[in-house]
Amino acid sequence: MTIRLIPRLDIKGPNLVKGIHLEGLRVLGRPEEFARHYYESGADELIYMDVVASLYGRNSLHEIITRTAREIFIPLTVGGGLRTIDDITQVLRAGADKVALNTAALRNPDIIREASRIFGASTIVVAIEAIKQLDGRYLAFTDNGRQETGVEVIGWARQAEELGAGEILITSVDREGTGLGYDLELTRAVTAAVSVPVIAHGGPGRMEHLRQAVAEAQVGGLAVSSLLHYDFLKKGRPGASGVGPEEGNVDFLKSGRLDSRMEPAGLLQIKRFLGSRGVPCRLPNEGEVPGRG
């Protein structure tokens, strides 16, 4: 079995954004351009997260999802602001393959059971945003780490699995966007608690951090944002196609400055690195790539 490398695209309005601790969002460009680039360079799946949806109580990615699904033939997970079975139906109809539930699941855990029964467990990803407390416990948060729930993470992961979650996406809010590496203690605790695949998210700043998460926390997938986005910005510059960001703080993009903690890397580079260190990865044949026609 290969490790899944999953570019995660946080989306606000029409733009791909990236923050630190899920806050302070910077605009990076058009999500579809990044998505296409990642597909063509061997991404195993994609995650689209509507990062302001919870604030407004709705997911607004339907058009972006549909445009993506027309040209990208790998699994797409969509999250953010999905509250009801109807919300889930809508994004699946738009072209998503899986949905990530956080706030709705914490408020009403039974939605996991119901959604899993209707759409199949493998369609339901439970996303957990964890923040470490002074006493060492991890508590689950909602609304991009803003809203405390008092729910303890490990027990919640176990409950989510029992209710029918097909995967757990575990985010360390403390590490997210920092480049300090995944929270291995947190990730390890979750993989030990559940039998379903676990996807680690939040913190990698170098390729070595990815290897660590696989070797030391037995994850099934790695969600990666900054590393890939900054690599594409450095090499690809989506602005070159004439489509630039339309809103948000684009100054950092214009100045060309990138975070010094980050050592950006592309998917192929990452996969070759992991492969050379004994982590099996899918290296696709360099043949025809659909989606350009």
Partner 1 sequence: MAETKRRVAVVDYGMCNLFSVQRACEHVGLASFVTSDPAAVRTADAAILPGVGAFGEGMRNMVQRGLDDALRDLVARGRPLLGICLGMQMILSQSEEFGDHRGLDLVPGRVVKFALSPGDPGRIRVPQIGWNRLVAPAGYPGCWADTPLQGVADGEYMYFVHSFYAVPRDPGVVLSRTTYSGIEYCSSFRKDRIYATQFHPEKSGPAGIMIYRNFKSFCDE
Nearer to partner 1, 6 or 228 (CB): 6
Nearer to partner 1, 24 or 120 (CB): 120
Tokens 């899986």 appear where?
A: 98
Nearer to partner 1, 51 or 281 (CB): 281
Q: Is residue 268 close enough to count as binding partner 1 by CB under 8 A?
A: no
Q: Which of 105, 196, 228, 267 binds partner 1 (CB under 8 A)?
A: 196
Amino acid at 23: E
Q: Which of 10, 32, 33, 44 binds partner 1 (CB under 8 A)?
A: 44
Task: Give the tokens for residue 212.
Answer: 């660590």
Q: Is residue 159 close enough to count as binding partner 1 by CB under 8 A?
A: no
Tokens 């999905």 appear where?
A: 82
Nearer to partner 1, 118 or 243 (CB): 118
Kindly list the distances between the CA atom of residue 81 and the CA atoms of 120, 133, 186, 222, 259, in Å, as whole numbers in the listed order. Answer: 20, 26, 25, 23, 29
**Distance (Å, rounded) from C-alpha 290 to C-alpha 164?**
34
Query: How many residues make contact with partner 1 (CB under 8 A)?
Result: 38
Q: Which of 58, 60, 67, 75 binds partner 1 (CB under 8 A)?
A: 75
Choosing from 33, 50, 129, 167, the catalytic residue is 129
Tokens 């393959």 appear where?
A: 97
3-state helix, strand, coil in the chain (%, to 5): 40, 25, 40
Kindly list the distances between the CA atom of residue 238 and the CA atoms of 18, 189, 246, in Å, as whole numbers in the listed order. Answer: 15, 38, 13
Q: Which of 52, 82, 100, 121 binds partner 1 (CB under 8 A)?
A: 121
Torsion angle in degrees (nearest 10) through CA of 245, 209, 266, 170: -50
* Stretch of 49-57, 89-97, 171-179, 206-214 contacting partner 1, by CB under 8 A: 89-97
Q: Could you count the other beta carbons within 10 Å of the beta carbon of residue 41?
A: 21
Q: Which of 107, 137, 254, 282 binds partner 1 (CB under 8 A)?
A: 282
Q: Is residue 122 close enough to count as binding partner 1 by CB under 8 A?
A: yes
Question: Quick check: 99 and 48 in contact, CB under 8 A?
Answer: no
* Stretch of 10-18, 101-109, 121-129, 244-252 contacting partner 1, by CB under 8 A: 121-129
Residues binding partner 1 (CB under 8 A): 1-4, 39, 44, 69-70, 73-75, 92-97, 119-123, 166-167, 195-197, 218, 220-221, 282, 284-285, 287-290, 293
